[in-house]
């Protein structure tokens, strides 16, 4: 008995510590599965020894705890969590029990994707969003309405004037997550470990303007009052104008559920958001009532968890990789470990600040995670090795031996040599990449050879390569050479934005390239744009504008573009055949204040953006118009003082 009590106490201590690391510090040191296993062991021991259950045991809590910076809301129905099933057997076991309790073996289930984000309750009163509340401890959550109002897929007014509570998941798409991390890196802030941590951090911002920048998203999965079935609940949520995840299925047997799970486990990487499993729910709400809930979770639902994409392993060494922009990236060399079905040997450490932040040293045991990114990353140190040794960033480029330089506002060191072979080779690989000019067959080895034999110096040289030249390269057959030439030829006719992305202008990602191509329509227009004109484009900030402007004012770059043009590459966007909205607000900045009658703020902002204008949150001399609704704030007074023209909704609509 003494042993059991001691074991229980030890588990509680460990779980409390890991909860703190996970929820409060957002720096877990063990995998979710290891955490669940400890929790299960504790539950089991407590179940066998009910006398030892204590009110402050981690088993007695539904979720994390509100941290106290926001006002709280007590739920009318607790926000429960879900029991996990880690295997098909556990799913079947759950199903059997559900059938038994329901008194039928003809149960219908709804299978939904388990989005890896944060649960959120949205309270609508007479159709208007009145509160957004985090899950907190499941009974009391934090009111974060200001932040929730910045999530574009959450309507401030739903389609029916009803009072309902919609629950669902707030998450960050992988695209938005990568963009956010890139921006943080540029600003010298530590990167977020995964989209969920990033979403959590964003929701708990005290300044909604910060949250707005994070592009959070939302999928609803329950609604109160409820309809007769989960299927109808989801349909109703969608009818009200909220997003419901389209990948769901009504299953008439557990086999169908199982197929749905395997289908999505295999395809999870195709989604632009992280899922960590499938949630299976009994469809009939009447039967849900019959099955009931425990203190922590309903018996009518279960989370089928996918194989973990977290694991622990040993850090054997850190090596430096030189990228296209000359960035020196530390790469972790690992003791090989299985992760979500593949063997992992390397992981990224991003930059030297990240190594400092993690406090990681060679030989330590580390926690590894593979998210939607193909490249796994080091999340934290699990155990410091007795023979650990610190890593030092080199102050010379490990490839060309040239100088490296760290710009003041950047977390990375870069090799500044224009002739560094690593940079040149990476530029070719970027150009040939799937997201750029899609030249299949132009991989590492071939690029190495082409550069080393001097057949190519920059990407424009690719367009002069002949089948004969290629065939002469070691191990290149006639057929492969012909294919490659055909691939290169086809890349001439691809969309203009791909070329733009392929050029590798600093900070111009795929999405930015698309926006720029659409906005300017051609290389000539883009190349002759002033910094101010570039900044007029929504999404283009001063830093990006400067980088683009500089790129188009460097002789080498202009010569490269001229050679590509001569090689017949497409330098025009196909915008002509799309109806274009007249850019009546080009160069204009609007400030919105007060409540508009027929438009939400988001809608007004979008209308302005589509017409080439910008919105800002504060009034200055540069403001073109202030659009004032009912109960305007102090901004109106300021606008009057500065002589900024004030327009109302009607005038605004006329301008459209």
Q: What are phi and psi of 545, to 5 degrees?
A: -55, -45
Site for ligand IVH in 50-89 (CB under 6 A): 80-82
Q: Which stretch binds ligand IVH (CB under 6 A): 8-16, 53-61, 295-303, 447-455?
A: 295-303
Does 520 engage in binding with ligand IVH (CB under 6 A)?
Answer: no
Does 590 engage in binding with ligand IVH (CB under 6 A)?
Answer: no
Q: Nearest to residue 177, comparing CAs of 411, 373, 410, 348? A: 373
Q: What are phi and psi of 368, to 5 degrees?
A: -115, 145
Alpha helical stretches, state H, 567-644: 601-610, 634-642
Does 110 engage in binding with ligand IVH (CB under 6 A)?
Answer: no
Active-site pick, 114, 281, 377, 614: 114
| Alpha carbon distance 395, 411 (integer Å) | 14
Closer residue to ligand IVH, CB minimum distance, 18 or 191: 18
CB of 118 to ligand IVH, least distance (A): 6
Pairing assessment for the beta strands 310-322 and 328-339 based on DSSP bridges: antiparallel
Classified as helix, coil or strand, 132 is strand
Annotate 522-556 with DSSP letters as a single string: BHHHHHT--HHHHHHSTT--HHHHHHHHHHTT-HH
Percentage helix, strand, coil for the chain under 3-state DSSP, each rounded to 5: 40, 20, 40
- In the chain, what is the straight-line distance between the N-terminal and C-terminal CA atoms, in Å? 77
Site for ligand IVH in 163-192 (CB under 6 A): 169
Binding residue (CB under 6 A) for ligand IVH from 59, 119, 181, 623:
119
Binding residue (CB under 6 A) for ligand IVH from 121, 174, 212, 279:
279
Binding residue (CB under 6 A) for ligand IVH from 198, 301, 328, 404:
301
Does 91 engage in binding with ligand IVH (CB under 6 A)?
Answer: no
Q: Which stretch binds ligand IVH (CB under 6 A): 52-60, 107-115, 254-262, 456-464?
A: 107-115
Q: Mark residues 2-41: x for contact with ligand IVH by CB under 6 A, - for none.
A: ----------------------------------------
Closer residue to ligand IVH, CB minimum distance, 169 or 533: 169
Closer residue to ligand IVH, CB minimum distance, 169 or 364: 169
* Residue whose CB is nearest to ligand IVH in the complex, by number: 119
Enumerate the β-bridge partners of residue 615. 590
The single-letter DSSP state of residue 253 is S
Enumerate the β-bridge partners of residue 459. none
Q: Measuring CA to CA, how many Å separate 89 from each of 32, 33, 296?
A: 20, 17, 22
Cis peptide before 225 (omega within 30 of 0): yes
257 touches 91 (CB < 8 A):
yes
Q: Which stretch binds ligand IVH (CB under 6 A): 297-305, 483-491, 561-569, 586-594?
A: 297-305
Does 426 engage in binding with ligand IVH (CB under 6 A)?
Answer: no
| Cα of 387 vs its chain's centroid, Å | 36
Cis peptide before 563 (omega within 30 of 0): no
| Alpha carbon distance 249, 256 (integer Å) | 9
Q: Which stretch binds ligand IVH (CB under 6 A): 22-30, 110-118, 173-181, 597-605?
A: 110-118
Does 200 engage in binding with ligand IVH (CB under 6 A)?
Answer: no
Tell me whether residue 114 is one of the annotated catalytic residues.
yes
State the number of binding residues for ligand IVH (CB under 6 A). 13
CB of 303 to ligand IVH, least distance (A): 5
Q: Mark residues 201-230: x for contact with ligand IVH by CB under 6 A, - for none.
A: --------------------x---------
Site residues for ligand IVH per CB under 6 A: 80-82, 112, 114-115, 119, 169, 221, 279, 298, 301, 303
The residues assigned a catalytic role are 114
């Amino acid at each position: 008995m003494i042993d059991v009590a001691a074991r229980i106490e030890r588990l509680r201590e460990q779980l409390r510590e890991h909860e703190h690391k996970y929820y409060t510090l957002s720096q877990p040191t063990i995998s979710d599965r290891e955490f669940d296993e400890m929790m299960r062991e504790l539950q089991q021991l407590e179940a066998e020894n009910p006398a030892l259950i204590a009110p402050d045991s981690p088993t007695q809590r539904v979720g994390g705890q509100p941290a106290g910076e926001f006002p709280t809301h007590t739920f009318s129905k607790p926000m429960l969590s879900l029991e996990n099933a880690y295997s098909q057997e556990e799913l079947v076991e759950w199903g059997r029990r559900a059938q038994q309790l329901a008194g039928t073996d003809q149960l219908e289930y709804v299978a939904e994707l388990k989005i890896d984000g944060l649960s959120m309750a949205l309270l609508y009163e007479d159709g208007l969003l009145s509160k957004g509340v985090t899950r907190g401890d499941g009974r009391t959550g934090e009111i974060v309405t200001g932040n929730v109002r910045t999530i574009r897929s959450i309507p401030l007014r739903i389609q029916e004037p009803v009072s309902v509570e919609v629950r669902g998941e707030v998450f960050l798409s992988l695209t938005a997550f990568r963009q956010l991390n890139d921006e943080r890196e540029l600003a010298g802030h530590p990167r977020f470990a995964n989209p969920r941590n990033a979403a959590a951090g964003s929701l708990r911002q005290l300044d909604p303007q910060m949250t707005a920048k994070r592009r959070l998203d939302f999928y609803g999965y329950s609604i109160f009052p409820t309809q007769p079935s989960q299927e109808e609940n989801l349909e109703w949520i969608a009818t009200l104008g909220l997003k419901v995840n389209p990948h769901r299925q009504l299953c008439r047997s557990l086999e169908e559920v199982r197929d749905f799970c395997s289908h999505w486990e295999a395809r999870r990487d195709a989604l632009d958001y992280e899922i960590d499993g499938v949630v299976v729910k009994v469809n009939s709400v009447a039967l849900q009532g019959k099955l009931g809930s425990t203190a922590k979770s309903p018996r009518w639902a279960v989370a089928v968890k996918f194989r973990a994409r977290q694991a622990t392993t040993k850090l054997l060494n850190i090596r430096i990789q030189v990228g296209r922009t000359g960035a020196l990236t530390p790469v972790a060399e690992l003791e090989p470990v299985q992760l979500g079905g593949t063997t992992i040997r390397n992981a990224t450490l991003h930059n030297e600040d990240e190594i400092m932040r993690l406090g990681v040293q060679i030989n330590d045991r580390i926690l590894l995670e593979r998210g939607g990114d193909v490249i796994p990353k080091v999340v934290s140190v699990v155990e410091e090795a007795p023979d650990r040794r610190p890593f030092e960033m080199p102050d010379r480029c490990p490839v060309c031996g040239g100088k490296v330089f760290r710009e003041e506002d950047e977390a990375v060191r870069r090799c500044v040599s224009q002739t560094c072979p690593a940079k040149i080779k990476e530029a070719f690989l970027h150009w040939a990449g799937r997201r750029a000019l899609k030249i299949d067959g132009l991989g590492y080895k071939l690029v190495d050879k082409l550069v080393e034999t001097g057949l190519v110096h920059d990407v424009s040289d690719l367009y002069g390569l002949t089948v004969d030249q290629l065939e002469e390269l070691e191990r290149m057959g006639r057929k492969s050479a012909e294919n490659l030439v055909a691939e290169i030829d086809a890349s001439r006719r691809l969309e203009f934005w791909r070329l733009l992305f392929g050029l590798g202008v600093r900070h111009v990602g795929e999405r930015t390239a698309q926006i720029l191509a659409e906005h300017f329509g051609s290389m000539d227009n883009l190349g002759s744009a002033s910094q101010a004109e570039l900044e007029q484009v929504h999404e283009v900030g001063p830093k990006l504008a400067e980088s683009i402007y500089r790129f188009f004012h460097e002789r080498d770059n202009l010569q490269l573009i001229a050679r590509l043009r001569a090689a017949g590459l497409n330098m025009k966007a196909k915008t002509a055949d799309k109806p274009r909205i007249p850019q009546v607000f080009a160069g204009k900045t609007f400030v919105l204040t007060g409540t508009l009658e027929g438009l939400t703020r988001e809608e007004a902002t979008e209308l302005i953006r589509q017409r080439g204008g910008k919105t800002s949150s504060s009034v200055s001399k540069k403001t073109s118009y202030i659009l004032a609704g009912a109960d305007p704030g102090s901004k109106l007074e300021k606008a009057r003082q500065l002589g900024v023209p004030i327009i109302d909704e009607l005038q605004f609509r006329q301008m459209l």
